[in-house]
Each structure stands twice: as structure tokens, then as C-alpha cells.
Structure 1
């Protein structure tokens, strides 16, 4: 297959219940930097939360592998990046494909579900999985703070939920969290087989998954260099929260691109 003229591509993977919104402006920023971005809607997403009841972790990894194989020969360099559950899929993809054609970025990887706002029943969820009738009917709701520390952005998200906007599911069935747990178990195995340079970005105050996840991955990924960046002013949704510009700068620098492309649109307009 003929390679694209810009020779650099990137596969961006959204999180559970999400869409490309999970990654904020990173698609546009990378495009400005000369990177052709690619995305996919994961199985069970883009419709109704009940669509997730018939989806397995195998479906997700099969989908990202298919997308990766579709684009990998089109570029000299291909980077992989994921947000939340998408970062778990990105890590597993890099491992299974022995990815060596570009770099890896893991944004808020939930290796552990141990953040300060996780539901009380998180410790008992494995018992509930054993009762399919219950696991399919328990709803894990998206509630304030919606993974966002910035109050203005949080109000915007709350308004979009109220309008029924399809940018993110308002809840997911507990049964699908079992599939995320299965994915988390896969990721923890053989992490030394990931050989591409990796950046992990994680908020210290992440309410879903503590900083322990980032440091666990860094320790176990012995086959490559791993840089961890800790954000001090965000919750889980780091691509749209207070530190979003820092996230973009770190990603661009990791991809060896000019970090000036991370400047916000309003700052660019005022400079013109």
C-alpha cells in the first residue's frame, strides 16, 4: 500500500462509554503538527448503553487490532494513544502487535479501579458478576464531577447530558465492567513485551484510578523506556480538564513534534 505523504499517523482510542470527545482537542492538535489521526468507535458504543451488554473484551481488542492493521502500512511512523479504557487497549495492542513503528501514549490508564469516587460496591463487583441478572441491571452512572475538576467544563458536560447529547453514555451496565476487568488482567500480563517508548500521563487527583496505576505500568514495562507525567490540577478526564494543554504538550514532545502546536485556539487568535 502506498504510504501517505506526511508519513506519520496515529491511532487514538476512546474510553468506556465514550467517543472521540474523551481525547479533547488532541486530534486537531496532532493534525496541525502534521500527523494524520485515525479513530474508531469501539463495539457497543455510539448507540445505547444497553448495546454494551452483548460486547466482550475480545470484541474491543479485535476492533483495535483490525484498525491498526488497516493503517500501519500507510505510514513510515505510526503512534498509538488511548484514554482510560482506551489506554488499556492501546497497551494490549502494542503488546500483541509487537509495535515498533512508533510510540505509545497511555492517558489515565485504569489498571486499578481505586480512585476516591469509585462506587462503594467496587470491592464486591466480582460477586455480582456471578449473578448475570443483577449485573446486567445495575447501572454505573456518570455522576458529578464527571471526571472533571474545571467547573466551567463540568457545567458544559452536565448540560450536554441533560440535552441527551450522544458524546458519552450517561451510564453503563455493571456487566460490561466485568469486560474491563478482564482487559485489565490481560494488560498486567507480559508487560515486558512492550518495546516502544511510552508516555503515561495521570492526574494525581484522578477520582477513578489512582496514580498507583501509572507507576505499576512503569515498573513492569521493563522492555522499554517509560516516562510518567503527573498532573496536579485535573481529575480523570485529563484531555478536557485544567491540564489539557500540558497533556497536549507532553504528547507532542513524546512524538518528537513541535509543542507550539498545543497552543489553544484563543491564544492563536490573539497572537494573529
Structure 2
């Protein structure tokens, strides 16, 4: 009898399960049960993020983990962008080990220092100190939308212009504060994470540099890093998406995508 394998998949800030591209379908075809999370304040309107605190996301994930974990011989945890930070904190808080499953961090923004980060971004802590400012300030999504592939970027831009509800067009500065709190928890607790961890990070990530991957590689007890050479931040939908999928499949102990599928997907790029 085949061992039951599941994975909790955590999207990024302002996003939805579409942040992870086709990974849901790819993992399901491999025989893995996928459990997509919609974090509090997401899937509705950006203003709903203003009162949300990082503790709410963590509490939600811990509850789901404890509900799902007894059902599986292996329950993996995977997160994209802010979801990667949440995945790290979750695994540290619940004591996730190799016996329970593995951990995958996709483009983890331990440092927010990518090539498109403006110099004044480090001044955001001052905004947090002034009552009401962080709630009123908007952080807009803009070119290149984390995507190097020009065709995919054009599709995403058209979706934004149509108002498709796949990702918020902006997020409140108050929510960036919660991301910064998550980052501080990762800094403090990374050494306590025991689960085997896969770190996938693009060399040209415009949001977070390779320093994030290097930090985790150095701090985690059992980690391996895959560096992508032809993507920006949204690695699950960009040029290296098949490399991301195959890296995850291999890490979980499953065969890679068939060559025919890779060729077909490559024609879209």
C-alpha cells in the first residue's frame, strides 16, 4: 500500500494559491494530497488586511497542521514568499521533523533587499511609529510583477487591469509590518528547525537577494539550496517553473515531470 503523502501550501502576501502556479496540479498528479491555505485578509479586498496580525496566520496554520498531520504518513509544508516565512515559523512552532515530513521554502524574503527595492524601504519602520500612517499607506504592485518572462508578465498585467481577484493590486503598509515581524521570528528561530528543508531562490529576485537563501542554508540543521538563473521573484510561474517543480518532486521522493510535459510547457514561455 502506498504511503499517504500530503502537503500544506501557503501563498504569499496579497496572493492566493495561484502564487504557486501549477504546483498544485503537478503534485496531485504525482499522488500527493494538496491543501491550499487562504490566509486571513486574503481573497477579498486589500483593506481587509489592515487589522490582521501575523499571529492570526500562524494560529490558522498550526490548527490546520494539527488537523491534517494524523491523516498522513508524511505531511510536508511548503510556502511561497511570505508563505515561506510562515512555513518556517510553523515548522519551528510545531516541532516539525523528518519523521512528520519535509519543508520547502520558495523565494523566502528573510531579507527584503532585492535589486528593485528602493533605498527608502528601510525607513518603513518610522511609518510604523506614527499612529494611523501604516494603515493608510499603500504598497502598490507594479512592473515587473516579479516575473522575468515577458509573455507571462503581460498576462498578469492584463489580469490586474481587468480586476481579476488572483492577487491584490496593493497591500497596506500595516501588513508589511507583519511581514517584518515574521522575518524577525525567522531570524530568532531558524536554528530550531529540524525538518529537512529545500530552499529555492532566483539569483535575480527583485524583492529578496540570495542572502536570504544563504542565511537559511547556514542556520538550518538540514538544508539544500537550488539557485534559479532565469527568473525573478514569482518562481512558480516564471521561466524556471519546471525546474522548481522538479526540484520539489525530487525532494519529496517522486519522479520528475515527463520530458513531453516539459516541452509542452516550455512552448508557453
Q: TM-score, normalised by structure 1?
A: 0.93
C-alpha distance in 2 between matches for 1:6 and 1:55: 37
What residue number does 1:194 align with? 193
Q: Structure 2 regions of 5+ residues with no counterpart?
A: none
SS in 2 for 1:227: strand
- Report if aligned partners of 2:89, 2:189 keep a CA contact under 8 Å in 1: no
Say if 1:245 and 1:264, in contact at 8 Å, map to a contact too.
no
Q: For residues 104-153 of structure 1, what are the alpha-carbon distances to aligned partners after superposition, in whole Å with 9 as ceiling and x for unaligned? A: 10000000000111234211000011113221111100000000000000
- 5 Å matches for 1:91-170? 91-100=88-97, 101-170=100-169
Distance (Å, rounded) in 1 between the aligned partners of 2:260 and 2:225: 22
The offset of 1:6, in angstroms, is 5.3
Q: Closer, same or farther in 2 for the Cα pair 1:212/1:129, shift >3 Å?
A: same
Q: 1:22 corresponds to which residue?
A: 19
Q: Which runs of 5+ in 1 are unaligned?
A: none
When structure 1 is superposed on structure 2, of 146-155 and 253-262 the one drifting more is 253-262
Q: What is the CA RMSD across the aligned residues, in angstroms?
A: 1.7
What are the Cα deviations for residues 62-103 of structure 1, in whole angstroms up to 9, with x where unaligned? 111111111111111111100000000001111111112111
Maintained 8 Å contact 1:12/1:81: yes
Tell me what 1:10 maps to: 7
Q: Deviations over 1:223-245 (max 9, x none)?
A: 3x210110000000000000000
> 260, 268, 272: which one pairs with 2:257?
260
Q: Report 1:150-229 matches (<5 A).
A: 150-221=149-220, 223=221, 225-229=222-226
Aligned 1:51-130 pairs, distance under 5 A: 51-100=48-97, 101-130=100-129
After superposition, what is the alpha-carbon deviation per residue over 1:138-190, rounded to whole angstroms, capped at 9, x for unaligned?
11000000000000000000000001000000000111100110010011113
- Distance verdict in 2 for CA 1:262–1:171, change over 3 Å: farther
The offset of 1:264, in angstroms, is 3.5
Please give the alpha-carbon distance, in whole angstroms, between the structure 2 residues aligned to 1:158 and 1:217: 32
Tell me if structure 2 keeps the 8 A contact 1:109–1:213: yes
TM superposition score normalised by structure 2: 0.94
